[in-house]
Structure 1
Amino acid sequence: MFEKKAWAVNGYLALICMLALLIGGIALIIQKNLIGTVLLITALILGTGIIVVQPNKAYALVFFGNYLGTIRKPGLWLSIPLASRKGISLKVRNFNSKTLKVNDIEGNPIEIAAVVVFRVVDTAKAIFDVEKYEQFVEIQSETALRHVATRYAYDNFEGNDISLRGNPEEVSDELMKELQQRLILAGVEVSETRLTHLAYATEIAGAMLQRQQASAILSARQIIVEGAVGLVQLAIERIEKEGVIDLDDERKASMVNNLLVSIVSERSIQPVVNTGTVYS
């Protein structure tokens, strides 16, 4: 089903007409005129078509099982008399998913949760195509979150591919696209999705934390070694260029060793000063 606009006229004019019919009908009934009864019944029937629409709310009209349309515009309206009304909110709403336990693409158990911002854009689909669209949104949101979580690793230690922890924006966009495809049937538009919780499951959290720490230490040491090699190379080239001292291969190797040890070492280095050789 698709939403369509229902027939409706200004409700204030309708109230004036109804009041006139009531007054005229009562006056004719007092005069024992049967037309007064007809006017009174007509006014009462028209009264069933009066509807008040609040801002950010809509009413779908159903007449003897047939969908007549939806009134969205706020105000007082007169629509089809004797038609039943199904109200639905058009406000933007948030849905916070439960913390789900799933396995990422590498099989590691993780905990993940997300918030979904949505609103109804097609009242006919939301009311007639699904049973309780709010529950439909909740179930489909958790299903989509599980599916997206299984596509990526929690963390990519090599830094080449998308990961749940390293690329939250990309993961959220992927979640929103998949969820929007699932919720088209319910006439719901997804405005935004964001991960609100992401962590390793309790049983592997300690081991994975040690792995992250080891990876961070390894990356830091690699940067230090690369910088140390550059400094040593620059120092030797500077000494040779300015002719401060002539270095043979043995002394050059010794200087390289000393410089690398002093730069790379995590502890402070105690220098050894060579004052010469004592001859007896």
Structure 2
Amino acid sequence: METKEFNFKGFKISGFLMLFLMLVMLAGIVWLYSSLEVWGIITGIVLTVVWIILFVGYAKLEPNEAVVMIFFGKYKGVLKENGFFWVNPFMTKKKLSLRARNLNVDPIKVNDKVGNPVLIGLVLVWKLRDTYKAMFEIDAQTMAASRPGKDGAVAYTVSKQMDAFENFVAVQSDAALRQVAGLYAYDNNVVSDTELTLRSGGEEINDDLLKELNSRLEMAGIEIIEARINYLAYAPEIAAVMLRRQQAEAIISAREKIVEGAVTMVKMALERIEDESIVELDGDKKAAMVSNLLVVLCADESAQPVLNTGTLYQ
């Protein structure tokens, strides 16, 4: 999206130079008052008013700060140069922070692709990229002005302005998180193993979330630097059922491995008995031996030995 932001090209001088000139002017005002002449006092009053007006024109900028210049409602550009300056005192100066900020979005309940309710949380890093969009494309100034300060007064401050932006990011990140989470299943229990899920997606899910967030926040001049899912779990109402299902799947998987190993061991035992001619076994005796070995190898508890004194050789 095209930006309307441009650098401030109006008159500005070093703040230290202007401070020196104002100190000289202040000395002149004092001298005029001390003259006790009518013309001197009148001139001193006029210069005092001018001095107070000029004092408002100072602006101090630290690294990664910006000042949006507005002249009686007209946008005059943004000042991003670091230092101490003096500009037209009739300029309205809106200071903004361009530094990166963290936002930890509390877990919210959403429905995944198959309709299961899950809790999902998000942490992201964001910063202002376009000061014009941030100030004029969204109603951030009204939101900032409506936030009372510690003393109850309502006034514009940088912190309240950035809090207004953060609130806008929080609302949009909630919507983006719901949008992305609804495109994927929680895990592969109800979808194919090759399909991307919230649990297995990792960086791919985070990349989709980053793109969705930047798309939504482009209009506000806000850039998301990093976005990651930091919490993922089933909702409490189905968590217990899903835990039992996972336990059952784990048991089945373990049983499959046990049976596979037991069959291999039984086969190996029969082959060794036949190769070394330890004993002659017919079909019934082989079946009995296989049954006994499988019971011993697949049982959860240790088998109780039973001595066979003649059945095997009769």
- The TM-score normalised by the length of structure 1 is 0.81
Do the aligned partners of 1:130 and 1:136 also contact (CA within 8 Å) in 2? no
* Paired amino acid for 1:173: D
1:156 aligns with 2:188: yes
> Residue 166 of structure 2 is aligned with which of 110, 134, 139?
134
Counterpart of 1:120 in structure 2 is 128
Do the aligned partners of 1:59 and 1:87 also contact (CA within 8 Å) in 2? yes
> Residue 23 of structure 2 is aligned with which of 13, 19, 24?
19
> Residue 175 of structure 1 is aligned with which of 209, 223, 229?
209
Q: CA deviation at 1:274?
A: 2.6
Counterpart of 1:83 in structure 2 is 91
Q: CA deviation at 1:15?
A: 1.9
Do the aligned partners of 1:25 and 1:38 also contact (CA within 8 Å) in 2? no
Distance 1:25 1:220, change over 3 A: same
- Residues 62-83 of structure 1, C-alpha deviations (whole Å, 9 max, x = no match): 1232222222344311234421
Counterpart of 1:65 in structure 2 is 73
- Aligned counterparts of 1:186 and 1:78: Cα–Cα separation in 2: 29
Q: CA deviation at 1:245?
A: 4.7
Q: Give aligned pairs, total.
A: 277
* Residues 1-280 of structure 1 aligned to structure 2 (within 5 Å): 1-7=3-9, 8-23=12-27, 46-132=54-140, 133-157=165-189, 159-245=193-279, 247-276=281-310
Worse-matched range after superposition: 105-114 or 67-76? 67-76
Q: What secondary structure does 1:97 align onto?
A: strand
Contiguous gaps of at least 5 residues in structure 2: 141-164
Do the aligned partners of 1:47 and 1:81 also contact (CA within 8 Å) in 2? yes
- Aligned counterparts of 1:234 and 1:66: Cα–Cα separation in 2: 90
Q: What secondary structure does 1:209 align onto?
A: helix
- Aligned counterparts of 2:276 and 2:88: Cα–Cα separation in 1: 99
- Residues 239-273 of structure 1, C-alpha deviations (whole Å, 9 max, x = no match): 44555455554444443333222211112112333
Do the aligned partners of 1:26 and 1:40 also contact (CA within 8 Å) in 2? no
- Aligned counterparts of 2:4 and 2:284: Cα–Cα separation in 1: 86
- Aligned counterparts of 2:81 and 2:294: Cα–Cα separation in 1: 77
Distance 1:206 1:81, change over 3 A: same
Worse-matched range after superposition: 191-200 or 34-43? 34-43
- The TM-score normalised by the length of structure 2 is 0.73
- Residues 122-149 of structure 1, C-alpha deviations (whole Å, 9 max, x = no match): 2222111112233321211010011111
Percent identity over the alignment is 45
- Aligned counterparts of 1:35 and 1:80: Cα–Cα separation in 2: 22
* Paired amino acid for 2:121: A
Contiguous gaps of at least 5 residues in structure 1: none
Q: CA deviation at 1:213?
A: 1.9
* Paired amino acid for 1:218: I
- Aligned counterparts of 2:219 and 2:174: Cα–Cα separation in 1: 17
- Residues 153-201 of structure 1, C-alpha deviations (whole Å, 9 max, x = no match): 2232264323223445443332222112211221212132233443333
